Amino acid sequence: MAEGRDYLRIATEEAFCPPEMLGVYAKLIDTKQVDDPGFLGMWGFYISSPTARTTFIRDHLVDVDEKRIAHMDAAGIDKAVLSLTAPGVQIMPKDTAVGFATFANDWLADAIARHPDRYVGLAAAAPQDPAAAAKEIERAVTRLGMRGVIISSHTLGEYLDDQKFWPIFEAAEALDVPIYIHPNTPNRHMYPTLAEKGLDGAIYGFSVETGMHILRIIVAGVFDRFPRLQIVIGHVGESLPFTLYRIDYMHRASTLSGRYEAMKPLKRAPSDYMKENLHYTNSGVAWAPPIRFIQDVIGVDRMMYAMDYPYQYLPAEVETLDAMDMPAADKKAFFQTNAEKLFKM
Amino acid sequence: MAEGRDYLRIATEEAFCPPEMLGVYAKLIDTKQVDDPGFLGMWGFYISSPTARTTFIRDHLVDVDEKRIAHMDAAGIDKAVLSLTAPGVQIMPKDTAVGFATFANDWLADAIARHPDRYVGLAAAAPQDPAAAAKEIERAVTRLGMRGVIISSHTLGEYLDDQKFWPIFEAAEALDVPIYIHPNTPNRHMYPTLAEKGLDGAIYGFSVETGMHILRIIVAGVFDRFPRLQIVIGHVGESLPFTLYRIDYMHRASTLSGRYEAMKPLKRAPSDYMKENLHYTNSGVAWAPPIRFIQDVIGVDRMMYAMDYPYQYLPAEVETLDAMDMPAADKKAFFQTNAEKLFKM
């Protein structure tokens, strides 16, 4: 811990991938083996574009040693929670995905073993095979020491509210580890209208895709079935806390009017789950107002720091967040202790 | 103005329709003349469902006399800005739409003439015929005294960032009246994934549809071309102010990387237009945190009150908002003076 600072900085949504994954992606793109225009649009650009931004991202996703540690040191990041970058294995054919999740988790475990005081990791899993995913989560947590699970929103257009995926929730709850629901590109139906104006990515579409996914999980009753399950969402909660009042009001109105077969009354209001089953990070948003908003309306014990490296590496953002007008205890919770508790660091 | 209160309450997103519009909708639904699953899903339910909520909405959309005035009195609403309920004429065949916009504006003008101290109105227009829409806006503003324009997001899947619609912006800017962009159901591509879990409407989908529309308008350079144009958005800005930092950051990253043909550098940052070309209401959100958030990050002169009658009629919500912890001048701006200035009341 640096002088004059009484908290560690733990960054909780930091992306990596084994170099082999870029090879798998390149092949999927070249052979157009996937019916996912979001993946083809985004990774088709990121994998080959020569711009400074995309080159930086490619070079640093695959590095978990000298370059990354140097960047963490330069920005004053003490520890990072690493997770396989989106969409991870969720775009691969089932058998490839199951095998690659194991490979990626072993690869990450090796990296953590080389830098045990700097990294912890989240386990990748292949929802394409829910039973195998649950098994891999158990292996990665109990044998490799992973502290949670990373899921990049939809899996080939399917969402975790579908009960066939619930073995994943069951495993996470039983192992007492959180699931981080990271954005994926919007599904094939929602992507075109957003992408035609450049809005499919981090500027807007990621948040739509992921916010919708979280609401699907809530209204499906996942937290009634798995009341101890904890889910983490980034990007200041994909904006959901901002309209918590409206979500509650309209959920009640819809269940009372009986309009939707898929929307039945829950044991509690949606906002109750948002306050007791969700955790939030500020990934990509180095701006105090929404961070303080979530601390106020959700709770200071559920708002955590994330940088979103290597997609958004700006040491100046760390200084901005250090300077937030916020009680010292809340700032320490934000930068350090909430992550320590949730990820058992 | 009631005793003990030093501000009028002006509600700015209050819906009506001539009874004839429900007849047009019923026919569109019966004959399945429209390729818009959102319209068919929502209005197919609202037009015939016998539940308390839908019956109340139908009965009170078409009333602009005794019942509405009594409700305004009961809730302490001094004045209302009335606008044709969504999707208005935007779902009708072109010729029907052009004719019905004129009819609806005349109908509204009559209602205002009966209650001139309680109502002002926004003009409906048919984007299906942009030249006719511009002409009708001019007629409605200069002859009927309308104070702005209502547009219910997409028109049969098309968005106002398409330059063919820009005569509408040109007319509004020339007449110095704002355009209220109200939600529509999500377009036919985005609707199914949301609707299958009941998320297409006010709980989430409306905001996705409308937030995307506003971002399309911003990134298309509409405010560079029409710098004096003012647009109003409800539902606490469809959550856009919450991620203003990320919108700016990612807009800059995308324009620098040159990824999108449709996303070119603008004269200013997206947040500059959000602060100088957009106004915001709290329709449907009787909750202080996001209202104060917008006052803080956008400005107290751009945050206005709305009830969303008859979709959300709860007099207790007015009391909640009266009780907000907020400087008296800001509360008066919120309830009264911002609307008076913008709508020239």
Decide: pTM greater than 0.80.
yes
B112 Cα to chain A: minimum distance (Å): 30
Give the percent of chain A with pLDDT over 90.
95
Q: Who among A244, A262, A286 is closest to B198 (CB)?
A: A262
Backbone angles phi, psi at A231, to 5 degrees: -120, 140
Distance of CA B15 to the CA centre of its chain: 9
Name the residue in chain B with its Cα closest to that of A162.
B197
What ipTM was predicted for this assembly?
Answer: 0.97
B32 Cα to chain A: minimum distance (Å): 20
Contact criterion met (CB below 8 Å) for B106 and B68: no
Q: Which residues of B touch A239 (CB under 8 A)?
A: 239, 242-243
pLDDT of residue A84: 98
Domain A10-337 annotated CATH 3.40.50.11610: no
Backbone angles phi, psi at A48, to 5 degrees: -135, -15
pLDDT of residue B145: 98
Residues A176-202, mean pLDDT to the nearest whole number = 98
Q: Assign domain B14-342 one CATH number from 3.40.50.300, 3.20.20.140, 3.90.1200.10, 3.40.120.10.
A: 3.20.20.140
What is the C-alpha to C-alpha distance for residues A294 and A291, in angstroms, rounded to an integer?
5
A131 Cα to chain B: minimum distance (Å): 24
B320 touches chain A (CB under 8 A): no
pLDDT of residue B5: 87
Q: Strand order in B79-84's β-sheet? A: B10-16, B79-84, B119-121
Tally of CB atoms within 10 A around A181: 23
pLDDT of residue A32: 83
Q: Where are the domains of chain B?
A: 14-342
Residues A171-184, mean pLDDT to the nearest whole number = 98
pLDDT of residue B16: 98
A269 Cα to chain B: minimum distance (Å): 13
| Residue A1 pLDDT greater than 70, yes or no | no
Q: Which residues of B touch A254 (CB under 8 A)?
A: 198, 201, 203
What would the 3-class secondary structure string for chain A be? CCCCCCCCCEEEEEEECCHHHHHHHHHHHHCCCCCCHHHHHHHHHHCCCCCHHHHHHHHHHCCCCHHHHHHHHHHCCCEEEEEECCCHHHHCCHHHHHHHHHHHHHHHHHHHHHCCCCEEECECCCCCCHHHHHHHHHHHHHCCCCCCEEEECCECCECCCCHHHHHHHHHHHHHCCCEEEECCCCCCCCHHHHHCCCCCCCCCHHHHHHHHHHHHHHHCCHHHHCCCCCEEECHHHHCHHHHHHHHHHHHHHHHHHCCCCCCCCCCCCHHHHHHHCEEEECCCCCCHHHHHHHHHHCCHHHEECCCCCCCCCCHHHHHHHHCCCCCHHHHHHHHHHHHHHHCCC
What is the C-alpha to C-alpha distance for residues A183 and B47, in angstroms, rounded to an integer?
37
Q: Which residues of A touch B249 (CB under 8 A)?
A: 284, 312
pLDDT of residue A3: 58
Q: Who among A45, A203, A236 is closest to B247 (CB)?
A: A203
Question: Mean pLDDT in runs of 10 for chain B (345 residues)?
Answer: 81 98 96 92 93 94 98 98 98 97 98 98 98 98 98 98 98 98 98 97 98 98 98 98 98 92 95 98 98 98 98 96 97 98 98
pLDDT tens column, A288-340? 999 999 999 999 999 999 999 999 999 999 999 999 999 999 999 999 999 99
Average pLDDT, chain A: 97
pLDDT of residue A99: 98
What is the C-alpha to C-alpha distance for residues A303 and A282, in angstroms, rounded to an integer?
8
